[in-house]
Structure 1
Amino acid sequence: MMARPGTGRRGGSMAGSTRDLEPDDYGDEAYFDEPHVEPRVFDSSLLRQPASVLSARKPLLFAPSDSVTDAMRAMQAEHRGCVLVTRDGSPAGALAGIFTERDVLFRIVDRGRNPATLPLGEVMTPDPERLRVGQPFAAVLQMMHVGGFRHIPVVDEEDHPLFVVSVRDVVQFLVESFPREVATFAGTQTQREREGA
């Protein structure tokens, strides 16, 4: 809301002493009140939610002998950032590796290698870090932060892959947990950009 000339925030005249003015009253002829957003404390119970709340999609599974080209095509078709590699390419096999979009860039493209001639076993990350089913959301955040991982496999007690948690899943979970706060903050930022702040 724009202040009208001749009125101060306390209802007094602008002709009064400068000692009565607040610091941000100086400089501009008008000011705009920012939308009031109630402060909200992060609900720590979210950190105790199981990692399974983040993803329900079955992982894309391949064997070490499968071609990189087939894995890349599956990633593109399913809009996934990675595939998991089990010893026999089935859900009943133990997790053996992970192949991600970063591997495409740094282990294939950057080195000028032909994906059609490469088996996944040559370019995957073997024996990747993983979480056991039932571990909390906090463990996902910790692993992503400390390890710099964008994709974390989640396995059962026998090391069979169940699903993958991605950075996108984490962001989606937080947006769904705080929809009002995210929308309010985003709207405030957009308004500031329009006003040149």
Structure 2
Amino acid sequence: MTVAAILSGKGHETITASDSATLGEICETLAKHKIGAVVVCDGNLAIEGIVSERDIVRVIGKQGPGALNLSVSNVMTKDVVTCAEENSVNEVMAKMTQGRFRHMPVVKDGKLTGVISIGDVVKFKIAQVELEAEQMRSYISMT
């Protein structure tokens, strides 16, 4: 199964920010939308970075609450690992595990088209296992 299958159920809606946003504004966005990361994009949806709850906690832990006034461009991860809709769920899961991150932007032709989280991947995998179990039960009951 592919990333496209996850996005077909979840949707392609993305929450983005510009690199001039402050960390305080990013915190408000995370809280408002109940998400764990925001992709930082230019006006053409080209990815410039990503900032997660972990990034924010890390900088506040080092610099104190004044860090909320920093520009997100000073804190965001600039070397963003992305995937495409054609990538398999297993490939994405391996990248997330290896890189120890929980959110991955989905790109097409260099532009953001969606975001998947480790929660989306786990939910998808559980549904897949439950379907296989149900198919097995059905097969067994037919014999």
Residue 52 of structure 2 aligns with an amino acid whose one-letter code is T
**Whole-angstrom CA distance in 1 between matches of 2:87 and 2:131:** 28
Partner of 1:146: 98
**Whole-angstrom CA distance in 2 between matches of 1:181 and 1:132:** 26
8 Å CA contact retained: 1:95, 1:127? no
Residue 117 of structure 2 aligns with an amino acid whose one-letter code is S
**Whole-angstrom CA distance in 2 between matches of 1:178 and 1:64:** 40
8 Å CA contact retained: 1:68, 1:115? yes
Partner of 1:86: 41
**Whole-angstrom CA distance in 1 between matches of 2:65 and 2:79:** 23
Partner of 2:138: none
Q: Which runs of 5+ in 2 are unaligned?
A: 134-143
Q: 2:25 aligns with which of 50, 65, 70?
A: 70
Higher relative contact order (CA 8 A, sep 6+): 2
Q: Whose helix fraction is larger, Structure 1's or Structure 2's?
A: 2
Structural mapping, 1:6-85, within 5 Å: 49-55=1-7, 56-85=11-40
**Whole-angstrom CA distance in 1 between matches of 2:63 and 2:120:** 30
8 Å CA contact retained: 1:86, 1:96? yes
Partner of 1:175: 126
The C-alpha deviation readout for 1:31-81, integer Å capped at 9, x for no partner, is: xxxxxxxxxxxxxxxxxx121222424221111011211111111111101
Q: 2:84 aligns with which of 107, 127, 132?
A: 132
8 Å CA contact retained: 1:152, 1:164? yes
The C-alpha deviation readout for 1:154-180, integer Å capped at 9, x for no partner, is: 1112x2111111111111112222237
Give the C-alpha shift of residue 113 in structure 1: 4.3
Q: Pick the structure with greater CA Rg.
A: 1
Q: 1:155 aligns with which of 103, 107, 112?
A: 107
Q: Which runs of 5+ in 1 are unaligned?
A: 1-48, 183-197
Q: In terms of mean alpha carbon deviation, does 145-154 or 112-121 score higher? A: 112-121
Q: 1:120 aligns with which of 47, 72, 78?
A: 72
Give the C-alpha shift of residue 138 in structure 1: 2.0
Q: In terms of mean alpha carbon deviation, does 105-114 or 65-74 score higher? A: 105-114
SS at match of 1:149: coil
Decide whether aligned partners of structure 1 residues 121 and 170 sit closer, same or farther in structure 2, where only a CA change above 3 A counts.
same
**Whole-angstrom CA distance in 1 between matches of 2:98 and 2:113:** 23
Could you tell me the TM-score, scaled by structure 1's length? 0.60
SS at match of 2:63: coil
